[in-house]
Structure 1
Amino acid sequence: MSRLTLLLVVTLVGLFVTSLLTGPADIGIGESLTALFVGDGGPLTLVMREIRLPRVVLALIIGASLGLAGAAMQGYLRNPLAEPGLIGVSGTAALGAVLAIHTGLSAAFAFGLPLAALTGALLGVLLVMTLAGPRGTSLTLILAGIAVSALAAALTSLVLNLSPNPFAANEIVFWMMGSLADRSMAHVWLALPFTLVGWILLGTLGRGLDALTLGEDAARAMGIQITRLRLQLVVGTACVVGAGTAVAGAIGFVGLVVPHILRPLVGAHPSRLLWASALGGAIMLLAADIAVRVVLPARDLKLGVLTALVGAPLFLHLILKLRKERI
């Protein structure tokens, strides 16, 4: 486990530095790092501190959040096909952002879009918890999340259908693809408080998730409060997914793919998988963000599109693997 953690940390640091040094401007490594840490207030300092650094930090915290939430969700539901968007929070957060673009709030107020997305995430988790009930089962939670996701998707499609402005509709479509371009440190500070709360809530679920591997009855016998654990899981997931969607749009498959890849390396223990998946999620999103700047630098390839292109085949591989295991 310690070797895996060391490998993940070294890879993460390497990708973090590589991402800081990757961009359309042809700038040397020494010159870039000097501008970042020393700085003289010139254009290069502005590029490093206000363009590249926020993008890299957001990739790290959003990727870690999605990986952590995915591992927690899979551990609670005891299903490797579960992912953070299952409870509908990403859909309602996206709906809030879409409404902000449609109504012009995002143009009138600099942080209208992320704040509307966070509001949508909050309303979404309240609706899911109301539908699932305080003593609902895991199946009830899944069904409530699917219902809320379907409703949010339908309302988002309705907004697009009724949009009288083709430019607004185009902006909505591109935002929903997910991207970290043109983000500032203000976006980092907006997402960070919610992200930290979510990390604390999800990161302390290890003992309960390990107990759940024996079944809910056995977990209760070991002193685990299932209702409290579920509430902690849902609120923590809402915090990290809502914050990430608010500032970067919809980015999928990270929370599904990363825990699946790392699970065999941690002995399939949910508690060990949590923080390993957080590191793995940050690595995946940093690597993907580097790729979108290198593969098609002039075409603005969206981050969510790339993660879907990578994640979908792995998802299909997981399905085929599960089918073979049951034969």
Structure 2
Amino acid sequence: MSRWFIPALIVALVIISALSLLAGTVWLTPNEILFALSGTQTDLASLIVTEIRLPRLILAILIGGILGLSGATLQGLLRNPLAEPGLLGVSAGASLGAVIAIYYGFAAAFTLATPLFGLAGGFITAGLALLLSRSGGTLALILAGSAVSAIAAAGVSLALNLAPNPYAAYEIMTWLMGSLTDRSWDHVHLAAPFILAGGALLLFTGRALDALALGEAQAESLGVHVGRTRLLALFGTALGVGAATAVSGAIGFVGLVAPHVVRPLVGHRPGKTLLPAALAGAILMVMADIATRVIRFDGPAINLGVFVSIIGAPFFLWLVLHVRSRAP
């Protein structure tokens, strides 16, 4: 990997972040952004930047980063190029928790009820997946995650089916489509500690992932504790992705796409993919968020999760065909 690759990704993220502060229904000038960030003015432009766009930008960076990082970690851990955070059921569990908060009216009574219930749901599903797969290997973890994810998805469908009124169903569907609209500093303060802690745990798996590329038996012979690595990966994903999904709703494909974007440039080493994948995920998320604000149709704006799915689904199809063509 070129020593300039990570600095180049950081520079690209800074440029895209600056554009995110400028872009929107009301376009701002660079001078207005600088005055707003310096805190020397309290006009409308400053309020737009500090209370709307800046927390939204920070969340986009954190969420995209943890999705890309967890996707790279799980692909290395499971030795599966199609692995992504939703495979372990964390996203589905967080979605179910948020839906419960909306369905039973907790969201209307308490502003942060939806993300808090979503965070709890992500932890519960991750714990169930770990409990069901504790005596098995990689395949058991995949199967347990898929089972838990299916149960959580069934719960979401049941809530939609039994929604007490059309407004509750609409609110649930809107949240499930994923968005960063109307997110505030409260959401940043809630999600950031969990995302950063989860990201730190995932970064600790880098050396073990390189060894696991040779197989579990070979990794054990090199002194890697496979069970502990699996626990770190699962707990880090539960912390980070659970918190991300809790505040933004379901955002797919970033965790799948970001590692594949950077992998050819890092020599296909799982451990070396982690930090670049996190930066690439943050860039992709910020770019997608900008697009949802800039691209306008006659109807309502496109939700972030929908836009990412529209872009990510063709990539996923290409990836499946590419993997199949390389299979013996």
TM-score (norm. length: structure 1): 0.97
Look up the match of 1:228. 228
- Take 2:176 and 2:319, find their aligned partners in 1: how far apart are those partners? 26
**Which structure 1 residue ranges, 4+ long, deviate > 3 Å from structure 2?**
none
3-12 or 147-156, which deviates more:
3-12
Q: Deviations over 1:17-54 (max 9, x none)?
A: 00011111143221222122224333222111010000
- Which residue matches 1:257? 257
Q: Secondary structure at the match of 2:307?
A: helix
Structure 2 equivalent of residue 215 of structure 1: 215
The 5-angstrom pairing of residues 52-131 of structure 1 reads 52-131=53-132
- 1:325 equivalent in structure 2: 326
What is the CA-CA distance between 1:106 and the residue it aligns to? 0.4
Structure 2: distance between partners of 1:94 and 1:256: 19
Identity %: 52
C-alpha distance in 2 between matches for 1:32 and 1:201: 34
Query: What number of residue pairs does the alignment pair up?
Result: 326
Q: Counterpart amino acid of 2:115?
A: P
For 1:188, the equivalent position in structure 2 comes to: 188
Is there any run of 5+ residues in structure 2 with no aligned partner, and where?
A: none
Aligned residue number for residue 270 of structure 2: 270
SS at match of 2:4: helix
Q: CA deviation at 1:164?
A: 1.5
1:326: Cα distance to partner? Answer: 2.5
Q: Distance in 1 between matches of 2:270 and 2:221?
A: 19
Q: Deviations over 1:71-128 (max 9, x none)?
A: 0000001110000111001101000000100111001001111100011111111111
Shift of 1:263: 0.9
The aligned counterpart of 2:146 is 146
Unpaired runs of at least 5, structure 1: none
> Which amino acid is 1:215 matched to?
G
Question: Conserved in 2, the CA contact under 8 Å of 1:207 and 1:271?
Answer: yes
Distance 2:27 2:236 in 1: 41
What residue number does 2:282 align with? Answer: 282
Q: AA paired with 2:281? A: G
Question: Offset of 1:11 from its aligned partner?
Answer: 0.8
Deviation at 1:56?
A: 0.4
> Matches of 1:110 and 1:323 in 2, distance apart?
46
Contact in 2 for aligned 1:39/1:45 (Cα 8 Å):
no
CA distance in 1, matches of 2:296, 2:204: 40
Partners of 1:27 and 1:291 in 2: how far apart? 16
Partner residue, 2:316: 315
Matches within 5 A, 1:7-26: 7-26=8-27
Equivalents in 2 of 1:128, 1:136: separation in Å?
Answer: 11
Counterpart AA for 2:80: N
Q: Which residue type is aligned with residue 266 of structure 1? A: V
**Match of 1:178?**
178
Query: What's the offset of the Cα at 1:67?
Result: 0.3
Rounded to whole Å, the distance in 1 between the matches of 2:222 and 2:114 is: 44
Separation of aligned partners in 2, 1:303 and 1:37: 29
Whichever residue aligns with residue 148 of structure 2, its letter is: V
1:6 deviates by 2.1
Q: Which amino acid aligns with 1:73?
A: L
Counterpart contact for 1:84–1:237, Cα < 8 Å: yes
> The residue matched to 2:288 in structure 1 has which SS?
helix
Answer with 66-75 or 114-123: which moved more. 114-123
Is contact 2:128-2:148 (8 Å) kept? yes
Matches of 1:38 and 1:127 in 2, distance apart? 47
Q: Deviations over 1:166-194 (max 9, x none)?
A: 00100100110000111001100100110
The residue type equivalent to 2:129 in the other structure is: V
Tell me by how many angstroms 1:7 deviates. 1.8
User: What is the CA distance between 1:258 and its match in structure 2?
Assistant: 1.0
**Alignment of 1:245 onto 2:245:** yes
Shift in Å, 1:323: 1.7
* Residues 283-327 of structure 1 deviation map (CA, whole Å, 9 limit, x = unaligned): 000110011111127722100011111111011111111122226
